Chains A and B, each alone.
Chain A
Amino acid sequence: MQPFDKLSAIAVPIDIPNCDTDQIIPARFLRRAKDDPTYARFLLHDLRFQADGSETDFIFNRASYNNAQVLVCDINWGCGSSREAAVNALMANNIRVVIAPSFGDIHYSNCIKNGVLPIRLSATDCGHIRIQLHESPGASIAIDLDEQAVLGPDQIRYTFEIDPMDKTRLLSGLDDISMTLEYQAEIESFEQKYRQNNRWIF
C-alpha cells in the first residue's frame, strides 16, 4: 500500500451528515475491478452525475477542486456498508486524507488499510474548516501524520489522535499480512493449544 507521511493539498468541504458508503460509491459499481479506467467517476457518483451522465453542480465537480486530495466532512462519514470500494474510489481520485468528526468503524479501518488517512477532529473544528473552504474555494490544508497535526486554511493548527499501530501502518505502507506473519510462531503455538481445547470447532 502507498505510505502516507505528510501532504499539503486542496481540500473539498462535503456538508453531508451520515454520508453512507452507498453515497460514496453506489452498490451497482461493486463488481468493477479496482483498475477499471473509469473508477474515478464512481466516487460520490449519484451526487455528481445526472442520469444522462452529465455533471451536476455538486461541489466536488467544481474546477477549483480539480487537484483536491483532502475531504473535510460531517459526522458519521462512511457509515453503513463495509464495501472497501468506497476507499478505492477515494484513491482513484487521489484523495489521501478525510477529515470528519466521526467515521463509520468499518470504513475507518478500510481507509487505514489502503493508505487513506482518516482524521477525527471535533464537529466544531470540522465545521469551522468547511466554512473557510467554502469562502475560499481551492484553499489548501496541510497534514503531518508524524506530528499528528493539521494546519487549516487560516493557519490554525489542530492535533488529532490516532492508534499507534494505525500510524505505523500508514507511515510504513506495510500491509497487514506481512506484519502478521512476523508473529507466525505465536500464531502456531496458540493454534495448537486452541485446537486441543476446542475440538468441537474443528
Chain B
Amino acid sequence: MNIPRSHSKTLFEKIFDRHVIMIRESGDALLFIDRQLIHDLHYRSFEELQATGHSIRYPDQLFATPDHSVPTTAKNLADIPPGEMHDTIAGLQQAAKRIGFTHFDMTDPRHGIVHVIGPEQGITLPGLTLVCGDSHTSTHGALGCLSFGIGSTEVKHVLATQTLWQRKPKNMRIMVDGFLGDGVSAKDIILAIIRNIGAAGGTGYAIEYAGSAIRQLSIEGRMTISNMTIEAGARFGIIAPDDKTLEYVYGRPHAPTDEKWDEALAYWRTLKSDETAIFDKEIKIDAATIEPTVTWGNSPQFCVGISDVIPNPASEADLATRANMESALTYMDLLPGTPVNKIDVDRVFIGSCTNSRIEDLREAANIFKGKSVAVPTLVVPGSGLVKSEAEREGLDRIFTDAGAEWREPGCSMCVAINGDVISPGQRCASTSNRNFQGRQGKGSRTHLVSPAMAAAAAVTGHFTDCRQLGK
C-alpha cells in the first residue's frame, strides 16, 4: 500500500506519537512513559519527591539496580566499608523496600548495569518509551524502544506523573551498508559514525541506525551502537526491530506471553520507518571502509584506524578544531605522526554498558586464549547473568589464566567512582564510552577501543591490530 508522503512517519515518530497525551501550542508534547530504570546515584530522588508532597505513581513500572557505586570486589552490602558508596547503595535498597518497586540488589544474580539488565530481563521491549537518569539510556533503542537519558528533575517528574514534556526532535538516518571486515566490531562502527558526524553532530536529533551492516549485527552489537548515540550528541538512537529482535525478546521474564505476545507482535511488526518517511538528515557509511579503531583525544570524535598515525593539528583548517586537537594531544601526551600501534598502554579495562555483554567477553577471550597480559587488566561483566554465562563457557578461566582480573558486575572503571580508578598520567585501553579528561580518574588518559582491541593491547602492552592475534 502506498502511504502518502505527508502521512508517512519514521520509526521514531510512530512510537513518539503513540505516547503523546497532549501537545501544547508551543509544540511541547506530554509523553506517557512506559518504564523507568533507576540506579544508585538517584537514590535521593524518592525522599526529595515525597518531601514536596508527591508520591510514586506506578512503582510497578519502575526497576532499580545499583551499578555506578558498586565496588567490583564486593559481593554484598556488608562487603562495602562505611562511606558514600555504602550509603548510596543502602539508600536505594531502603527506598525499594519502602516504596515496593523491583530492585535487583547486589546479591541478586540478575543484578548488573541498568543498560545490560533492562534488555536481559525483558523490561526493555520494542515500541515502549523507557527513561533512566543516565545518558547511555539510548542503549535500549537497539530493540526498537524509544529510550532516552534524563536529568534528576525529570526522573522525579516521571516518578510522580509517569509522563515527561518533550519536543519532538528532528530525524536523522545513518545507513551503514556493506560487509564488516574480520575483527571489526560494532564498537568500530559507532566510533566511525561519531568521527564522521562529530560529537555534536546528532544534537537535536533522534538517530535511526539502518542498513545491511546494522542488520547483520547481533542484538548485543546493536546495543553497542545505540549506547554511544549520546557521544554523537543525540539523546535517542533507535534500530527497527526484526526477527532477531523478537527472538531475543521472546521468553524473557518481563516480556509478554501467550495472547499478550500476539498483541504486542501485531504492533511490533509496524515498527519501521515508512519508505517515504522524511529524514531531516541522512548519512551513509560503507562498512567495508571501517577498520579496528582507537580514539586518541578527549572526545570520541577524535579517533583513527589502528594502521593510522596520530593526526597533525597543523593540517586542520578550522582554527577552533585545531586548538581543540592540540590541547587533546597535550593532555594525552601524544605527538602527531606517531603510529597508533607504537603507543604503549599501562592499563586495560574491558567492561561498561557499551561492551560488557557475553559477546564482548567472547571476543576478548578469543584474543586472550593461551596468552598472558603485559599490563594490569580488569574484566568486569555487565551483569550477574553475563558473569555466570561466561563462567559456564569457561571464559573466566581464559581471563584469569592470562593474568587478568575477573570481577563482580558494575560500571566500574568507566565512571570510576567505585574504587576502580587509573592513576594520573596512566594510559588505558578501555572498552567504555568516554575518553574525557579525568573520566577514569584524575589525570587518566583513556583510549576507547573494541573488546578485541582492548585484549590485543593487554597481551602486547601497546595498541595492536586484533586481526594479527587471536584464532
A-side residues, CB < 8 A to B, are: 17-18, 20, 22-23, 26-28, 30-31, 33, 46, 51, 74-76, 79-84, 87, 102-106, 109-110, 113-114, 123, 163-165, 175-177, 180-181, 183, 186-187, 190-191, 194, 198-201
> Is the pair A106, B424 in contact by a Cβ cutoff of 8 Å?
no
Q: List 14 A-B contacts (CB under 8 A).
A: A17-B323, A18-B200, A22-B437, A28-B416, A30-B41, A31-B87, A31-B88, A46-B442, A51-B424, A76-B203, A163-B27, A180-B30, A183-B22, A201-B34
| Contact with A46, one of B27, B163, B437 (Cβ below 8 angstroms) | B437
> Is the pair A165, B200 in contact by a Cβ cutoff of 8 Å?
no
B-side residues, CB < 8 A to A, are: 21-22, 24-28, 30, 32, 34, 41, 44, 52, 54, 68-69, 84-85, 87-88, 125, 128, 133-135, 149-154, 156-157, 160-163, 165, 167, 199-200, 203-204, 230-231, 233-235, 256, 260-261, 263-264, 267, 298-299, 320-321, 323-324, 415-417, 424, 434, 436-439, 442
Q: Which of B52, B234, B320 has most chain A Cβ within 10 Å?
A: B320
| Contact with B167, one of A17, A81, A113, A163 (Cβ below 8 angstroms) | A163
> Is the pair B24, A165 in contact by a Cβ cutoff of 8 Å?
yes
Given A22-B437, A163-B167, A183-B21, are A177 and B150 also a contact pair (CB < 8 Å)?
Answer: no
The 7 closest A-B pairs by CB, nearest first: A200-B256, A110-B151, A200-B260, A84-B151, A76-B200, A200-B264, A82-B135
Q: How far is the CB of B54 from chain A (nearest CB, A)?
A: 6
| Contact with A31, one of B24, B149, B157, B417 (Cβ below 8 angstroms) | B417
Chain A residues with Cβ below 8 Å from B165 are 165, 176, 180
Give Cα distance in the complex from A30 to B41, angstroms.
7
Given A46-B437, A84-B152, are A200 and B417 also a contact pair (CB < 8 Å)?
Answer: no
Give Cα distance in the complex from A129 to B162, angstroms.
42
> Is the pair B320, A163 in contact by a Cβ cutoff of 8 Å?
no
Chain A residues with Cβ below 8 Å from B54 are 177
| Contact with B436, one of A17, A22, A28, A164 (Cβ below 8 angstroms) | A22
Q: How far is the CB of B82 from chain A (nearest CB, A)?
A: 13
Nearest neighbor of B155 in chain A, beta-carbon distance = A84
Give Cα distance in the complex from A20 to B68, angstroms.
18
Q: How far is the CB of B400 from chain A (nearest CB, A)?
A: 29
Give Cα distance in the complex from A74 to B321, angstroms.
11
> Is the pair B133, A82 in contact by a Cβ cutoff of 8 Å?
yes
Given A76-B200, A82-B151, are A194 and B32 also a contact pair (CB < 8 Å)?
Answer: yes
> Is the pair A51, B41 in contact by a Cβ cutoff of 8 Å?
no
Chain A residues with Cβ below 8 Å from B233 are 76, 79, 104-105
| Contact with A105, one of B157, B203, B417 (Cβ below 8 angstroms) | B203
Nearest neighbor of A168 in chain B, beta-carbon distance = B26
Q: How far is the CB of A132 from chain B (nearest CB, A)?
A: 17
